[in-house]
Amino acid sequence: MSERKVLNKYYPPDFDPSKIPKLKLPKDRQYVVRLMAPFNMRCKTCGEYIYKGKKFNARKETVQNETYMGLPIFRFYIKCTRCLAEITFKTDPENTDYAMEHGATRNFQAEKLIEEEEKRIQQEREEEELNNPMKVLENRTKDSKLEMEVLENLQELKELNQRQALVDFEGMIDQYREMEKREREREKEEDEREMKEMLDRALVKRLRESDSDSETEEESSSKQSNKSSSDKPTDILTADKPTEAEGASAGGAKKAKVESWERSVGTLGGKGALGSLIVRKKPVMTVSKPSSVTETAAPISQTDSKPATTDASKPVTTQNGSSSLSLLGAYSDSDSNDSE
């Protein structure tokens, strides 16, 4: 399979290159090339800085009547990025560098200036020695004196190095490392000791708190046991209740605490309790009754005449000493006899 893009051309066997006409191009013709700025420069027109490595579409031409050892010198034309002023520079094969020619000034070329100054001084010295033998002698004396100073300085440096060579740098480094190690161990021991002290203080505090808690629990349990031993379940039945007179004398004081068994069962004086068993005497009718009934009815009227003064919680007694319940039974028996 043949290549898609063929760079070579086919030349037939009868090809004669001498028949191809030659183009007559000028020697100072220009080409458009793509290049980067070889050094930092500043435009003289607007003061714009152009850094090294910035790309330009430059025009290239060969400098006429100027070569270096048979090598041609090329000139490049670029435009400022701000004011579009033309800047030119050319190659410098002698110094393997580029030389600014027109439109800008080169920056940061101190090293190059120093080298040029040294070359200039050397050329001037050679010219002076060429025509003045006394100048040659003076220059040789200065050179020898400078050489002696340099040798002395070198000898001092050698002696200094020999003195420093006796110093054991490895031993010094090992000693420094040992000191650092001891310091770290000391800090570690201090940290452990402080931590142990803190834990001991926390443990003592916890033990004290636990002891106080146990003491309070023992005191509360002893109080409860004493209270339970002193109190009996039947004490609530034998305890005296505050009378109505005491409640009235108290005025705006709070009411006595009602026990749970009183709230659930009630007292004897309540309407829904045993107080309903007491029957009041009805008005006396003209019907004659047995003497036994009349004798027993008289005390009932006495009990009915003062219902508010008696306490409902206590059983009502008659003059004969019998309870109201027995009177109720006798009254019911008399009623049954009358009906018969």
Tally of CB atoms within 10 A around 89: 23
Calculate the CA 222 to chain-centre distance.
Answer: 53
Task: Please state the residue numbers annotated as binding site for Zn(2+).
Answer: 43, 46, 80, 83
Give yes or no for a contact between 301 and 281, defined as CB atoms under 8 angstroms apart.
yes
Give yes or no for a contact between 99 and 89, defined as CB atoms under 8 angstroms apart.
yes
Give yes or no for a contact between 149 and 141, defined as CB atoms under 8 angstroms apart.
no
Longest dimension (CA), the chain: 191
Amino acid identity of 37? A
Cβ contacts of 93-97, under 8 Å, gap ≥ 24: 93/68, 93/69, 94/68, 97/38
**Distances in whole angstroms, Cα of residue 280 to Cα of each of 71, 309, 333:** 156, 15, 16
Task: Please state the residue numbers annotated as binding site.
Answer: 43, 46, 80, 83
Calculate the CA 195 to chain-centre distance.
Answer: 26
